[in-house]
């Protein structure tokens, strides 16, 4: 019998945002790999082995999962959100590219999930309603110069920006520096959305402006959406405003 590997997106946290396809793959797996807090979200099942790991060992985790699949087991490797967005999907591809030929012959599936920027956007309206791009602010795997260049290029071209990994204990200043950089291209009134732990019990969503964005606390569980010059608010009685980016127009480009 040949083994297989499913690289599964769990979505941002709410169980209702797990796709039926992902749920079926998790139920069928003999072994589960993943960052421990993500594995904790998967309901326990008799006869299933769990291999939790910490956040830093992505490539090793991918290799272990591939080894077990190559030994004939049905393996699932989980990611928060979508596995292809700043997550395990690319680590698996990298491990296969560098690994033994046998891994290329394996049955491997990537099962998509709701990525954080879509969940955060859905909480406030349609900030990603027109052209946008996604950027990780983590300079662990690329240089800060590259990040600044991409922020400049994206903001000056009129893209809305979804900022993943905005801040961590080891990277305390990057988000403030990014806002400073973006203020060179965008008005102070540009809407900024902070979505923290969306879909989980401790969810918090805040709408601010680029001018006052430094005053809002963000952490590792926060995704930040910075509007373009076209992004605007629609006021509503007794409800939070809608944030949206119109589908037409060339503002900011
Ligand atoms: N693969 C994941 C992203 C991993 S990078 C996905 O597709 O969503 C980790 C970053 O994702 C965090 O630093 C944060 O910016 C964002 N993130 C993940 N889950 C989130 C959630 N529930 N709410 C807000 N942001 C989240």
- Residue 1 pLDDT > 60, yes or no? no
pLDDT number for residue 140: 87
Positive or negative, the CA dihedral 135, 136, 139, 142 is negative
pLDDT number for residue 183: 98
Distance 45 CA to ligand 1 centre (A): 26
State the average pLDDT over residues 23-32. Answer: 97
State the average pLDDT over residues 96-119. Answer: 98
pLDDT number for residue 111: 98
Distance 222 CA to ligand 1 centre (A): 7
Furthest CA-CA distance within the chain: 61
- Residue 55 pLDDT > 80, yes or no? no
CA 95/CA 68 separation, integer angstroms: 14
- Residue 249 pLDDT > 80, yes or no? no
State the average pLDDT over residues 238-242. Answer: 97
State the average pLDDT over residues 157-183. Answer: 95
227 CB within 6 A, ligand 1 = no
The CB density around residue 128, as the number of other CB atoms within 10 Å, is 23
Instruction: Name the pLDDT band for 2 (thresholds 50, 70, 90).
Output: confident
Instruction: Name the pLDDT band for 251 (thresholds 50, 70, 90).
Output: low
Instruction: Supply 23's token pair.
Output: 């749920």
pLDDT number for residue 139: 87
Distance 118 CA to ligand 1 centre (A): 10
State the average pLDDT over residues 63-84. Answer: 97
116 CB within 6 A, ligand 1 = yes
Instruction: Name the pLDDT band for 57 (thresholds 50, 70, 90).
Output: confident
- Residue 113 pLDDT > 80, yes or no? yes
89 CB within 6 A, ligand 1 = no
% of the chain surpassing 70 pLDDT: 98
CA 226/CA 179 separation, integer angstroms: 9
In the numeric block, the tokens 């699949």 are attached to 69
């Amino acid at each position: 019998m040949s083994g297989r590997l499913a690289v599964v997106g769990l979505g941002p946290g709410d169980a209702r945002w797990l796709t039926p396809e992902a749920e079926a793959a998790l139920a069928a797996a003999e072994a589960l790999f993943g960052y421990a807090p993500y594995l904790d979200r998967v309901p326990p099942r008799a006869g299933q082995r769990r291999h939790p790991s910490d956040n830093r060992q992505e490539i090793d985790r991918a290799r272990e999962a591939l080894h077990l699949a190559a030994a004939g087991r049905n393996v699932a490797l989980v990611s928060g959100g979508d596995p292809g967005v700043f997550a395990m999907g690319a680590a698996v591809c990298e491990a296969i590219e560098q690994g033994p030929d046998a891994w290329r012959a394996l049955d491997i599936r990537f099962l998509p999930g709701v990525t954080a920027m879509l969940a955060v956007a859905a909480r406030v309206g349609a900030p990603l309603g027109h052209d946008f791009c996604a950027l990780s602010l983590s300079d662990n795997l690329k240089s800060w110069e590259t990040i600044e260049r991409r922020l400049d290029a994206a903001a000056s071209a009129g893209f809305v920006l979804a900022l993943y990994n905005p801040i961590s204990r080891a990277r305390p200043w990057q988000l403030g520096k990014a806002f400073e950089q973006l203020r060179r291209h965008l008005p102070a009134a540009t809407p900024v959305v902070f979505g923290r732990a969306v879909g989980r019990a401790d969810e918090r969503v805040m709408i601010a402006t680029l001018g006052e964005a430094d005053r809002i606390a963000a952490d590792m569980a926060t995704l930040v959406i910075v509007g373009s010059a076209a992004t605007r608010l629609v006021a509503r009685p007794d409800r939070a405003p809608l944030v949206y980016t119109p589908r037409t127009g060339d503002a900011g480009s």
